[in-house]
Amino acid sequence: MDAQIKAAGLPHETRLDRLAEVAVRVGLGLKAGQELVMTASVETLPLARRITEHAYKAGASLVTTVFSDEESTLLRFRHGSDESFDKAPSWLFEGMANAFRNGAARLAVVGEDPSLLAGQDPDKVSRANRARSKAYMPALELIAGFQINWTLVSFATPAWAKAVFPELPEQEAVDRLWDAIFSASRIDGPDPVASWAAHNRELAARREHLDARNYRALRFRGPGTDLTVGLADDHIWQGGASKAANGITCNPNIPTEEVFTTPHKDRVEGVVRSTKPLSYQGTLIEDISVRFEGGRIVEASARTGEEVLRKVLETDEGARRLGEVALVPHSSPISRSGILFYNTLFDENAACHIALGQSYAKCIRDGVGMDEAALAAKGANKSLIHIDWMIGSGEIDIDGIAPDGREEAVMRQGEWAF
């Protein structure tokens, strides 16, 4: 059979076009007259072009794409002066923030090499990431505050595919990864947009149940994990499609299987161990184990990437506290695929997870538009980073702690208990 004809019976180009349409119509919910700011690597150009086409068909007034290049990133580490690693293009990110303030949507095409910077100086990696995070903050605040409609979508690059399927020849690995991306992104059925609508209804039902229970904390128990995550005051659950402050309904992640909310930054206690590797800015961090006291990480270790993890935790005060807790059943389609993607967008939708750093204002009742002090009073965290890492598996039990202290089963062996 032709390598371009997949199990779904559709040519690769047709599936790529469907993914672009889902990114624009479902992911962004792009409106006529709206600008779009897109970021992508040069390797993802085929998808970026199709997204641009669908955006203009949807009535976009302007599509502006900022391209990056992994080889150029490596050239910086090989030849850049030491002081260059404390620099970031603040002018670029301020420009993006201005576009968002003026109504633009934001889309990122991702497909990074998970180990791009694995052999580089961890200090330089940390400094470069910190500089970028500080420069990006004006734009990140608008994204994290859900002031705009935004989404992420993936592209199967050769380096990423080889990390996922190292035993396969490059083209076969790329084809396998594309199959997984298309399947997880729900584009292989007769009507991908309708499929997404049904999936969003299921996620909404989960959110509504958890909102009705109004737990004050969640307790995670499993191998190496006994963690109590207090939830922010007036927290609400999000997941799937939701409405941004600009009135546009979007799906921030394509794919997505999670429902999530905001922890209380001062009310996390216990120990937790990661269940999947974390690929962070080109470094693979495996077997993370941390201990929280009073909401703050006081001990941390990792089998690989520990120095990078420690540098991350030193980013600012909020980097040692949680900004998100998310629930994902172990039987999610991405988990059932049995594939370890080495990509947070996918791996976080295969397992329950927590995120270090910045919290989402939309997970606080009436939080969008609330000032920083008011959000902090509810327990929301602030940081230059937001890094998800996976703590769920088929061996994890989760209980919800009700306002009166009673414990109720939320998940058993990684599956919903209600």
Q: What are the DSSP E strand ranges found in 150-224?
A: 150-154, 217-222
* Residue 41 near residue 112 (C-beta atoms within 8 A): yes
DSSP three-state, residue 381: coil
- Residue 3's pLDDT is 37
Contacts of 316 (CB under 8 A, 6+ apart): 383, 384, 385
Whether 154 and 345 have beta carbons less than 8 Å apart is answered as yes
Distance CA 279, CA 112 (A): 9
Asked if residues 96 and 139 have their Cβ atoms less than 8 Å apart, the reply is yes
pLDDT reported for residue 8: 54
Taking the C-alpha atoms of residue 183 and residue 365, their distance in angstroms, rounded to an integer, is 34
- Which residues are CB-neighbours of 119 under 8 A, at least 6 positions away? none
Determine the pLDDT at residue 371: 92
- Give the span between the Cα atoms of 43 and 302, in whole angstroms: 31
| For the chain, domain boundaries | 12-184, 214-237+257-416
3-state DSSP percent of the chain in helix, strand and coil, to 5? 40, 25, 35
At 282 the pLDDT is 73
pLDDT under 50: residue ranges of the chain: 1-7
Residue 58 CA neighbour count, 13 Å, CB half: 25
Predicted pLDDT at 369: 83
Does domain 12-184 sit in CATH 3.30.300.30? no
Which of 270, 238, 273 lies closest to 396 in space, CA to CA? 273
Smallest CA-to-CA distance from 326 within 263, 251, 405 is with: 263
